[in-house]
Amino acid sequence: MGWDMGLDYEETYKLLLRDLNDAKRKDGIKALKRRLYLIILLTQLRNGSRIGEAIEFISKVSREYSREALVTVEKRTDEYQRLMVLPKEIKKADLLTVKGILEEELQRHGRKGMVAKISTWVKKTYGFNTHSLRYAFVSYLAQKKYPPQIIAKITGHKRLDYILHYTQEKAAQELLVKLDLI
């Protein structure tokens, strides 16, 4: 465990994708909401975004089908926008299926309310917080040796020291565990 809850990007992606495929085989409003939440989570993980950014992205691409779109980065005052990309496994039919429930949820609860609902559901269902998906993505890119500057651009971090902190802390922990001091 640690700042990223120890989530492995690839394992978590496979888990969420498997659960999405299971949800597709079920009917009813509960299964439809589950599909929506899983599409949002897969998108968040795939892009290293915050959950609110993933909701905004899915809302945009479900209105005018597209595989990518710009979203405003949360927690930045400069209105910076970043590109987000739909996971390849999510098809137009998936977006069309959840579009109505997404619009209804946004109208009923607003984006902040949806963030809270999804965050609670994820914690209850999987035992981790949604922000851990962002960290798993950052760790994954760092392990693949992408420069922190590129990771920061992808994730919308304004300050490079956040990326350096995340990636160096993880690398230091892994090195300490691997050292044979006896």
Answer whether residue 2 shows pLDDT above 60. Answer: no
Asked about 75 being catalytic, the answer comes back as: yes
Over residues 29-52, mean pLDDT: 96
pLDDT of residue 180: 73
Record: fold of 9-180: hpI Integrase; Chain A (1.10.443)
**Integer CA distances (angstroms), 151 to 26, 80, 171, in order:** 37, 15, 15
Answer whether residue 63 shows pLDDT above 80. Answer: yes
Asked about 157 being catalytic, the answer comes back as: yes
Active-site residue among 24, 131, 146, 162?
131
Active-site residue among 50, 82, 126, 135?
50
- The pTM assigned to this predicted structure is 0.88
d(CA 61, CA 157): 23
Active-site residue among 34, 46, 157, 170?
157
Active-site residue among 134, 135, 140, 170?
134
Residue 67 phi/psi, 5-degree rounding, is: -90, -10
